[in-house]
Amino acid sequence: MLRSILIIAAGGFVGKYRGGIFHNRDEIVGRIKNKILHKIVYFMVQGDVVNALFTASLAAHVKGWHIFPFMFLMSMRGSTPGWGEYIGAAAGWRPTTTKPLEPEVPYIDKIAHSITKNTRLWGVIALSLRCGEWGLFLSAPLLSFWPMLAGLLAGPIVFLLSKIISQKYVWPIFEILLGALFAAAIWSA
């Protein structure tokens, strides 16, 4: 039980780390004069890589080390563009206007726009599809639907967070919750 709690907590931390604890990364790493050490440290403070290493290692621990390379690559899928407009719309930061929303992931945009023209609902649906897709890739080698389900919950989570906490904390709390959900889903696979 304690082990599960620690893994879920670590997933939350890594989720936030992926989201950018080190927003001043260039300033921190820029002080390192040795070029090799500079590259190593820059690589290690890159949250997407740390998240991918954690996720792949956790999955490999659960299902075997043969899935590590695939899980690492699928974890890096979360570092691809296509988040900001979805989270902003789901959280209510993107007001409904006649100006079109910025495109993120074309096929997800098309699916979400075909379902609704309501900006907030569009954000919830699109964010759920975006994270659900990421979860699907994480689910495949585990033969478990839990990571996909965790991803599909992303839109409703952001919407609910925007209703109960200050807008300033929605995105950071979401990153923690998503990381914890993915860790719990992988651990339970």
pTM of the model: 0.87
Distance CA 19, CA 64 (A): 27
Whole-number pLDDT of residue 180: 97
Number of domains observed in the structure of the chain: 1
8 φ, ψ to 5°? -65, -40
What is the extent of the structural domain holding 145? 2-187
Tokens representing 46 are 């890159």
What is residue 68's DSSP assignment?
H
Whole-number pLDDT of residue 98: 52
| Torsion 14-90-159-111 (CA) sign | negative
C-alpha distances (whole Å) from 178 to each of 21, 103, 121, 155 are 15, 23, 19, 11
What string of pLDDT tens digits covers the 189 residues of the chain?
999 999 999 999 999 888 776 656 677 777 888 888 878 877 777 788 889 999 999 999 999 999 999 999 999 988 888 888 899 999 998 766 555 667 789 999 899 989 988 889 999 999 999 999 999 999 999 999 999 999 999 999 999 999 999 989 999 999 999 999 999 999 998
CA angle 57, 62, 67 (to 5 degrees): 60
Whole-number pLDDT of residue 140: 93
Whole-number pLDDT of residue 46: 76
CA angle 103, 160, 99 (to 5 degrees): 30
